């Protein structure tokens, strides 16, 4: 079975964080959602470039606590960006 491409992971997170904050989710809830998304992408998506491959490798070796930290950092990185609606 072919795995789907990871796509633009950052754009996906920007949209998800924008939607979550728009409906009043707390930072912890946003981090939890980002961690679940990261887990899903790590399991089922094919990294398309070196950066996405590195992110997947970091995710795969991290403990659950480290994954939450990574998700929190990624959420922080993209939290100031405006979501792009396609």
Q: What confidence category does residue 1 fall into, taking pLDDT thresholds of 50, 70 and 90?
A: very low
Tens of pLDDT, residue by residue over 24-82, are 989 899 888 888 888 888 888 788 888 888 888 999 999 999 999 988 888 888 776 65
Whether the per-residue pLDDT at 86 is higher than 80: the answer is: no
Domains in the chain with CATH codes? 9-78 (1.10.760.20)
pTM for this one?
0.70
Environment class of residue 3 by beta-carbon count within 10 Å: exposed (0-12), middle (13-18) or buried (19+)?
exposed
Tens of pLDDT, residue by residue over 4-31, are 555 566 677 778 778 888 899 898 998 8
Cβ partners under 8 Å of residue 28, min gap 6: none
């Amino acid at each position: 079975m072919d795995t789907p491409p990871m796509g633009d992971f950052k754009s996906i997170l920007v949209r998800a964080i924008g939607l979550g904050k728009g409906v009043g989710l707390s930072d912890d809830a946003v981090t939890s959602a980002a961690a679940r998304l990261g887990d899903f992408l790590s399991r089922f998506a094919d990294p398309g470039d070196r950066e996405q491959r590195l992110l997947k490798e970091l995710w795969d070796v991290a403990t659950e606590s480290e994954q939450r930290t990574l998700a929190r950092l990624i959420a922080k990185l993209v939290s100031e960006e405006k979501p792009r609606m396609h």
